[in-house]
Structure 1
Amino acid sequence: MMTRYIAFLRAVNVGGRQVKMELLRALFEQAGFKQVKTYIQSGNVIFDAKGQEAALEAKIEQLLQQNLGFAVPVCIRSIAAVQAVLDNNPFPGVIPDKDFQIYIAFLQTLPGKEATAIIATLQSDIETYHLNGKEVYVLMKKNTGAPPFSNTYLEKKLKLVATTRNLATVQKVLSF
């Protein structure tokens, strides 16, 4: 039985690593995935496949490495899991606007027990973090003069692969 998934690709179309969405769709289709779509240029691929998320992540990472010539970490979630991520938003009353942004970092693996303590050390007047399973939600105040939220910073702190999208992108890719 096929499951509908979203592959969130890390670091696509940033830092000189340009990938056309037409090429991504073609590569996913050549790999046997069905009903392949992409949403915006940041590497969001919606597709149908059989298999477990970790095995699909490894297959897609290998496919992209072979065809693009560089590593692309991949975090996969089923459509149902992404809906649950949105349903479990710990900032339900906050509407992103000129003052606030909500980010969701998708972790490739489940963090260890120490992750909760690490997340606690990241809290500030500008950023509020909330860990829930394989996702980290970040509420960030804008226009503070502080640097914006950094996926790389979060990865270094947790020692895990992550890729981040803002709330609006996650909502749109789910409905795409």
Structure 2
Amino acid sequence: MTRYVAFLRAVNVGGRQVKMEILRALFEQAGFKNVKTYIQSGNVIFDAGSSAAALEPKIERLLAQNLGFEVPACIRSVAEIQAVLDNNPYPRVVPDKDLQIYIAFLQTLPGEKAAVVLESMQSDIETYRMNGKEVYVLMKKNVGAPPFSNNYLEKKLGLVATTRNLATVQKVSVC
């Protein structure tokens, strides 16, 4: 069995309210073991014997059938999440009220043009770095600019993504 985290996209935003106890129950009914959730933003930690690639469509079908709407899932093993944390391109940055680090988990590997797209998105407020299926975003806050948007990143890259702040990723890595 491998320990995984399902980062679910668009849970408890835009009127799509899902209680975490319902998510836990659905995952348990699907046969996953040691199921936990972390905060209300759709982070489900569980054990499974399948690969992440096999789990994503299974979980998406499970949620669509039981919740009545699509919920994209980006699955990573706890070992992969630790590698994501170890590869943080901003290791000396301590997030605070003025600065935040986000990690966007992509469902698929981006194509070659993704690096060019991310380069075009760089600004004095946002810095993007890509590593595999993750995009790290260093965001200055409280500067009069709109906050970071997962939807904007998805639209620019043409890929499914779901984003968490660094503190959340750190917490789920040890659940």
TM-score (norm 1): 0.98
> CA shift at 1:51, angstroms?
1.2
Residue 142 (1) aligns with residue 141 (2): yes
What residue in structure 2 maps to residue 87 of structure 1?
86
Q: How many Å apart are 1:132 and its aligned residue?
A: 0.4
Unaligned runs of 5+ in 1: none
RMSD of aligned Cα (Å): 0.5
| 2:59 match | 60
Hey, what's the Cα distance between the residues in 2 that align with 1:120 and 1:162?
Answer: 18
Residue 124 of structure 1 is matched in structure 2 by: 123
Q: How many correspondences in the alignment? A: 175
Structure 2 counterpart of 1:76: 75
Deviation, 1:175, is 1.7
Task: Please give the alpha-carbon distance, in whole angstroms, between the structure 1 residues aligned to 2:41 and 2:70.
Answer: 15
For residue 33 of structure 1, report the CA deviation from its aligned partner.
Answer: 0.4
Whether 2:43 is the aligned partner of 1:44: answer yes
Instruction: Tell me the equivalent position of 1:16.
Output: 15
Q: Does 1:107 align with 2:90?
A: no
What letter corresponds to residue 99 of structure 1 in structure 2? D
Matched, 1:168 2:164: no
Residues in 1 aligned to 2:130 and 2:121: alpha-carbon distance in whole angstroms: 11
Q: How is 1:15-34 mapped onto 2 (pairs within 5 angstroms)?
A: 15-34=14-33
TM-score if structure 2 supplies the norm length?
Answer: 0.99
Match of 1:152 in 2: 151
Structure 2 distance, partners of 1:150, 1:173, is 21
> CA–CA distance in 2 between the matches of 1:173 and 1:49?
16
In structure 2, runs of 5+ residues without a counterpart are none
Q: Which deviations, in whole Å up to 9, do the C-alpha atoms of 1:44-95 show, x marking residues without a partner?
A: 0000001111210000000000000000000000000000000000000100
